[in-house]
Amino acid sequence: MKATIAVLPGDGIGPEVVAKSTELLSAIADKHGHEFTFVEGLIGGIAIDERGDPLPAETVAICEKADAILLGAVGGPKWSDPTATVQPERGLLGLRQHFGLFANLRPVKTYPALVEHAPLRAELLQDVDILFVRELVSGIYFGDRQEQGDGDSAFDTMTYQRAEVEQVANVAFRAAQGRRKKLCSVDKANVLASMRLWRRAVVDVRAEYDDVELEHLLVDAATMHLLTRPNSFDVILAGNMFGDILSDEASVLAGSLGMLPSASLRADQFGLYEPVHGSAPDIAGQGKANPIGMFLSAAMLLRYSLQLEAEAGAIESAIDAALDAGLRTADIASPGEASVTTDEFAAAVISCL
């Protein structure tokens, strides 16, 4: 297979983990007889510095010609002024909106080798395997807003159309059919009108998936149950803001935010793949970044956009092997336990292929 991958390193630890992911994908290509071409572009804070725009037109053009997008992270203290006219995060939001990437998939699972490192009791973490499906291009992040008020009030508007809820709900139900056939839809239907529409639309879509068990949870209850009965969940469907918060909360189940990948997809499986962890500016350039979230994002790219299931599985198995061999980056090392650098962990995973 020949494929072109747009590579957007971004800010903070983004360039470090992206560089190791392209090495990993090149190793996969060599092993399985594929040809991957990587074309790099600017996004986020570095794009503001160099182009005055968090999403330059040339970056969009690179992505339009690619089969998939691999992104590191955007943002950092340098660009954190909330009154700034341009902000790094608008580059990522712009990509999602431009390409219609409406479904965000965030898998969270526990690793037996890391159970002791997680802050919950080991028995709560047994067999945790959750797929978050988050609506990505609507809701409060894209609604009408007062960006910079000159007084003491401001607003952000949460708006959903029935069709927007239905398309992401279909993704979630189909995912549940291929897993344990359980779907939990998270909302705040007792308070918010937009969430009552959400619940009605999800119920209507469910009629097409008789084999899937549907549960509704208010978001405040969901935050609690994620930490008290996490292994009861299979697929969790949520709106833009709630899905963002809940999937970040669930990072404690895996032991570190650095463990979590994500895929943002449109209907034709074109997608953007990025780790959940963000730019982590406090450790940028120190060789401390955990590349697992980025590596698993690369595996999702192979699985969803290129339909290379065996190759995706090979990456996941190699990560398991490296963890089972005792390799730990600083964020997943227990007190007193030796840790390895980003480069060392990446080299171990590649050798495990």
Q: What positions carry a catalytic annotation?
A: 141, 188, 220, 244, 248
Amino acid at 82: P
Phi/psi of residue 3, nearest 5 degrees: -145, 145
- β strands within 143-290, DSSP E: 182-187, 213-218, 235-238, 261-265, 271-275
Question: Which candidate, 353, 344, 345, places its Cα nearest to that of 318?
Answer: 353
Coil, strand or helix at 269:
coil
Token pair 């009861």 is at which residue? 232
Amino acid at 49: D
Using CA atoms, how far apart are residues 113 and 210, in angstroms rounded to an integer? Answer: 37
Coil, strand or helix at 285:
coil
Q: Which DSSP state fits 43?
A: -
Are 125 and 118 in contact by the 8 Å Cβ rule? The answer is: yes
